[in-house]
Amino acid sequence: MPYKALVFDMDGTLVDNMNYHKQSWIELFKHHQLDLDYETFDQKYHKGSLVEIMARLFPHISDRETLREIGSYKEVLYRDLYRPHIQPIAGLESFLTQIHQRNLPMGIATMGDQHNIDFTFEALQIGPYFHSTTGGHEVVRGKPHPEIFLTAAQKIGVDPQDCLAFEDTRSGITAALQAGMDVVGVTTMFDEKTLLALGCIKTISHYKKINPDFIYN
């Protein structure tokens, strides 16, 4: 079907940065002396907004602002680790340019905060391509809840069912599907077979693998 807008996740979708997030989480565990390995964290705690995650990690803290501050420290660690290495997934800029030239609006739906959005946009110089951004700090319920994709579509001014989403994680794919969007899976986290099983209509390893004409047919 011809789509009226594209909505992209950011981490693992525009940039292959998930290992740097993993390292920053491990540093946070050490800093707060949490007896927690990353695999257990990923299975039991790692879903929803940053504040939701922090509330699970620190159940004795009820103040959301304190939880947000702890989360901000983790994100500072991430940006410091990734800054010397940041680069787009191959073919991204060419793909965005072609879509932009066809006047198809594009938005961002990331659980990252505004600092991480700005960090990525400034490093990659991709801000002008996007109509709007929606970060995890703007929603109450994080992925896999569809709120962030519904908000992104609302900002662009299109029905969610008319959007094509690009995602890489289980929770992100679930959120986009529940919002009513078709999803292209990016194989930074899962292989093609897994992404298709999760409900993606197509998978790519990089943006040279997708013909923009696919968006219009």
Residue 216: its pLDDT value, please?
Answer: 79
Give residue 57's domain range. Answer: 18-82
Q: Tokens 């569809």 label which residue?
A: 146
pLDDT in tens, 83-122: 999 999 999 999 999 999 999 999 999 999 999 999 999 9
**Which pTM does this prediction carry?**
0.92
List the CATH number of the domain containing 37.
Answer: 1.10.150
Q: Do 176 and 141 belong to one domain?
A: yes
Residue 214: its pLDDT value, please?
Answer: 84
Give the tokens for residue 26.
């491990």
Choosing from 56, 82, 108, the residue where a domain stops is 82
- Cα–Cα dist 217/109, whole Å: 24
3-state secondary structure of 85: coil
15 pLDDT higher than 90: yes
Residues 6 or more apart in contact with residue 179 via CB below 8 angstroms: 146, 149, 150, 153, 160, 163, 165
Mean pLDDT over 194-207 rounds to 97
Q: Do 103 and 123 belong to one domain?
A: yes
1 pLDDT higher than 70: no
- Cα–Cα dist 142/110, whole Å: 9
